[in-house]
């Protein structure tokens, strides 16, 4: 059966719940992975999602910062989360979708919000950047993020790195800017390769085509004309399910909504 899976850094789920509802009504994903929910679990708008037909929700949130959520039309077989770098800052969730979701073979799904890293790309003077680099190293070294060759697994989220030359509007001008520095790109690619993950977005849209999922708020009304974007949001699959991804859609128009997130929804259709 086709499984539609969306990842979206929503930058406050309560502030933008109407925008999320608009997207859900229009696109009807089976599973929605949100990042930067900025919401403690007991204040999450569960009732609104249930009215929209999404009764299965797992949360890892905190007040005001970070936070991830997985919202589904189908029940989960299991759910869990991990902490990274010795911090409890709500940046990961994992679920298993299986028979109860109508799948013959289970799929393990990871939802990540990698630290942004601050403004100065020097770990010695910017602890936020050091935290980001350590987080990426832990992703690389995490045994749970190394699916067996036969295991069906998907990793999505705001990974806060645009790893390829054509994932940014100008490789030359961005190479010293956090999210596209060589050390970040190297570490994210190491995490992907060590885990045996396939970059599904780039399978469907190979370089040199530009591919963006984020446009800065600083561009304000002319963000579309300037088009100075970055691909910070990712969909990776294990080898066992890579050839089952039939479509990737980036909903760029949601960046032009009223009070938008600076990220847009990215949806994969998987012939599961």
The whole model's pTM is what? Answer: 0.97
Q: What pLDDT is recorded for position 272? A: 82
The predicted structure's pLDDT at residue 218: 84
pLDDT at 221: 74
With 90 as the cut, is the pLDDT of residue 220 above it? no
For 256, which DSSP code?
A: G
- pLDDT tens readout for residues 48-107: 999 999 999 999 999 999 999 999 999 999 999 999 999 999 999 999 999 999 999 999
CA distance linking residue 23 with residue 260, whole number of Å? 12
3-state secondary structure of 148: coil
Distance (Å, rounded) from C-alpha 116 to C-alpha 128?
A: 8
CA-CA distance, 212 to 180, in Å (whole number)?
Answer: 13
Cα 232 from Cα 90, distance rounded (Å): 18
Q: Is the per-residue pLDDT at 219 higher than 80?
A: no
Whether 1 shows a pLDDT value over 90: the answer reads: no
- Is the separation of the CB atoms in 250 and 266 below 8 Å? yes
pLDDT of 130-186, one tens digit each? 999 999 999 999 999 999 989 999 999 999 999 999 999 999 999 999 999 999 999
pLDDT of 222 above 90: no
What is the tens place of the pLDDT at every residue in 227-243? Answer: 999 999 999 999 999 99
On average, the pLDDT of the chain sits at 96
- Sorted by where each starts, the structural domains of the chain and their CATH numbers stand as 2-271 (3.60.10.10)
């Amino acid at each position: 059966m086709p499984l539609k899976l969306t990842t979206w850094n929503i930058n406050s789920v309560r502030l933008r719940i109407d925008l999320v509802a608009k997207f859900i009504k229009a696109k009807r994903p089976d599973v929605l992975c949100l990042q930067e929910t900025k919401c403690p679990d007991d204040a999450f708008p569960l009732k609104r999602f249930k009215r929209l037909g999404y009764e299965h929700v797992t949360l890892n949130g905190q007040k005001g910062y970070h936070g991830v959520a997985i919202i589904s039309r189908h029940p989960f077989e299991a759910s869990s989360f991990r902490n990274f770098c010795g911090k409890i800052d709500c940046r990961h969730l994992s679920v298993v979708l299986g028979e109860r979701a109508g799948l013959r073979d289970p799929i393990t799904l990871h939802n990540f919000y990698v630290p942004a890293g601050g403004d100065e790309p020097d770990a010695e003077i910017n602890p936020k950047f050091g935290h980001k680099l350590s987080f990426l190293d832990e992703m690389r070294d995490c045994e749970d993020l190394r699916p067996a060759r036969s295991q069906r697994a998907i990793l999505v989220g705001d990974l806060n790195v645009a790893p390829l030359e054509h994932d940014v509007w100008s490789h030359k001008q961005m190479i010293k800017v956090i999210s596209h520095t060589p050390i970040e790109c190297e570490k994210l690619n190491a995490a992907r390769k060590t885990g045996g993950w396939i970059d599904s977005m780039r399978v469907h849209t190979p370089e040199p085509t530009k591919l963006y999922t984020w446009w800065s708020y600083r561009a304000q009304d002319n963000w579309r004309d300037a088009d100075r974007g970055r691909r910070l949001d990712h969909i990776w699959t294990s080898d066992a399910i890579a050839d089952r991804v039939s479509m990737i859609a980036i909903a760029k128009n949601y960046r032009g909504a009223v009070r938008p997130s600076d990220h847009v929804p990215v949806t994969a259709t998987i012939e599961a």
